[in-house]
Amino acid sequence: MLYSKPLLEISILFVSFRKKPISGVFRPQAYIKGVKNYSSNIRLDQFKQEIGYGDQIVMPAVIEAPVGFGKNLKTGTLLTIKDGLDEVGKAIVLEIFEE
């Protein structure tokens, strides 16, 4: 499915590899293997608890400009989450909320 809206709400299972805890609003880049030369910002809102190294958490997220992912973005897709050049986690798309 192609997404033309500027923001796409999804639910993900996030596994953190970041040494510093994540809290508040975190906006790293999301990559999908097989989609060359395209990444998108993903907004992770984490206010209730910090996410530490090795933690697994189901959480909502917002992908900005998902149109470049094309048909590769679907339920079960593995996202690589990077902050600059550092890989800070992996995420599996559990649900896509379309309006």
Among residues 81, 86, 32, the alpha carbon closest in space to that of 57 is found at: 81
Q: Cα separation of 80 and 29, whole Å? A: 8
**Domain-located, residue 82:** yes
Contact 94, 6 (CB under 8 A): no
Confidence of residue 21 (pLDDT cuts 50, 70, 90): confident
CATH number, residue 61: 2.40.30.10
Which tokens go with 29? 């880049």
**Domain-located, residue 2:** no
Q: What is the full DSSP assignment across the chain?
A: ----SSEEEEEEEEEE--SSPEEEEE--EEEETT-TT--EEEEEEEEEEEE-TT-EEEEEEEEESGGGGGGG-STTPEEEEEETTEEEEEEEEEEEE--
| Whole-structure pTM value | 0.87
**Domain-located, residue 1:** no
What's the domain count of the chain?
A: 1
pLDDT tens-place string over residues 24-57: 888 999 999 888 888 899 998 876 788 889 899 9
**Domain-located, residue 73:** yes
**Domain-located, residue 77:** yes
Q: Which domain holds residue 59?
A: 7-97
